[in-house]
Every structure is written in structure tokens, then in C-alpha cells.
Amino acid sequence: MNLEQARTNMIDQQIRSWEVLDSRALDVLREIPREEFVPTRHRKIAFSDFRIPLGHGQIMMKPIEQGRVLQGMGLMEGEKVLEIGTGSGFLTACLAKMTGNVTSIEIIEEIAEQAKANLEARDTEGVQLKIGDVLEAGFDDNEFDAIVVTASAASIPDQFVRWLRPGGRLFIVRGKSPAMEALVVTRNDSGRLSEQSLFDTDLPRLIGAEDVPVFNF
């Protein structure tokens, strides 16, 4: 495989065609070697328009989805970012390249360890990795400029909003399968929220935030 040609095709034929035109987002997707974060058995489809399985029911989002996230969040150098769901570490590396300050938390230890190895192999700077349940995390209110959730929830957990600083942005996928909506939620200076719909999708549930079964008797 000609990796650079495959990368160029991914950006030009997939990501740009999905209206991702932000130069900073495109530059990061071009610079960070996606193939080095993909499980070895799936390297041949690293640049394809597929979700890549990571094990334990978790996935790596499509390149077009990751491009939309990076563009939609409007990240700036120096902003403090929380990533919920480290996954392969690829999006983590992209976020760190754009801001220089990422805390990423992953609940599945095996996935977290592989992400750590992927990031260290690239000498990625500006990332603090944590293993644990974000729903039990003790982050401070108003701690982050941006939060990126790489899983879905039926509704937005209240603490995620509290952790945002005024002007902060939250990416999350909300709804029920198979029709979910990827959103950027912005908290203004008075604490009010506004929502921007980015795209329709269907992602695995955030562990610990699964739907409660309804039983009819």
C-alpha cells in the first residue's frame, strides 16, 4: 500500500467531500499517521470509510466523523481538553496536536494500555492518560475548555456540562440506535446551552450510561 497516497485519498475523497474544510483539522489528519493507531489486523482498512473494531465492543470512528469532530469543536492552542473514551489514541493525538493539553480517560484497561503504547511510539506530547470510569471522576466544575465524548448517551450527563468553562464546547452523540445525532453543545457565559447538529450516526453507548431496560408486565 502507498500510505501517503491512501492518506491523501482519505482526506480529499472522504473528509473534504463531507464538508470538512478547516485547514487546521485537515493538517492534523494529514500529519498524524492514522495507520499506526489501527490494530494490526485492520491496517489494510486504516484509511477506509469504516469504523474499525478495537475489541470489547468499542470502535474507532470513521475518518469523516473524526474530521467533523475536529472541525466542529473549533479548538485553539492552549485550550484544556477532556477526551472521554481514549480508544486507539488517534483522536487523542489529534486533539493534543491542536491544543497541547489533553486529559483522556478510558474505562477498559486493555484498550487504555494499547492507546498508551500507540501514543508513546509517536512521542506524543501534551497528553495525560487516565484509566477509570468518567461517571465517577472528580473533575472540577469549569475545568475544561472542551470535552469530546467518543461514545453515545441517551441524554447528556449533567457533570459533563458542569465541567465546561463559560464558552466551553462539548461533543457528544445523543439519542437511541439506530438514529443518533452528533452534537456540539456550547455553554455561554451565563451557563445557558446551545446545540449545533453535526451529523447523524450510531455509536456504542458510554459504559455506565447504558439505557435502563423497560419491562412490561
pLDDT range class, residue 212, cuts 50, 70, 90: low
Task: Output the pLDDT for position 215.
Answer: 46
Do residues 68 and 182 make contact, with C-beta atoms less than 8 angstroms apart?
Answer: yes
Q: Is the pLDDT of residue 217 over 70?
A: no
Do residues 69 and 91 make contact, with C-beta atoms less than 8 angstroms apart?
Answer: yes
DSSP one-letter code for 205: B
Task: Output the pLDDT for position 200.
Answer: 96
Q: Is the pLDDT of residue 213 over 80?
A: no
Rounded to the nearest 10°, the torsion over CA 205, 62, 183, 213 is -20
Question: What is the per-residue pLDDT across 103-124, written as a single tens digit (0 to 9) for each?
Answer: 999 999 999 999 999 999 999 9
What 3-state DSSP class applies to 186? strand
Do residues 58 and 115 make contact, with C-beta atoms less than 8 angstroms apart?
Answer: no
Do residues 148 and 171 make contact, with C-beta atoms less than 8 angstroms apart?
Answer: yes
Report the C-alpha gap between 24 and 162 in whole angstroms: 28
Residues 31-58 have a mean pLDDT of 96
Question: What is the per-residue pLDDT across 50-90, written as a single tens digit (0 to 9) for each?
Answer: 999 999 999 999 999 999 999 999 999 999 999 999 999 99
> Can you give the length of the chain in residues?
217
Q: How many CA atoms lie within 13 A of 90 on its CB side?
A: 27
Do residues 83 and 105 make contact, with C-beta atoms less than 8 angstroms apart?
Answer: yes
Question: What is the per-residue pLDDT across 143-196, written as a single tens digit (0 to 9) for each?
Answer: 999 999 999 999 999 999 999 999 999 999 999 999 999 999 999 988 899 999
Question: What is the per-residue pLDDT across 12-35, written as a single tens digit (0 to 9) for each?
Answer: 999 999 999 999 999 999 999 999
- φ, ψ (nearest 5 deg) of residue 92: -55, -50
pTM, two decimal places:
0.95
Q: What one-letter code names the amino acid at 139?
A: F
Report the C-alpha gap between 147 and 210 in whole angstroms: 20
Q: What one-letter code names the amino acid at 131?
A: I
- Whether a cis peptide bond, with omega within 30° of 0, leads into 166 is no
Task: Output the pLDDT for position 191.
Answer: 86
Taking the domain 3-201, which CATH number applies?
3.40.50.150
Report the C-alpha gap between 121 and 89 in whole angstroms: 11
Q: Is the pLDDT of residue 40 over 80?
A: yes
Closest CA to 5 of 37, 39, 46, 41: 46
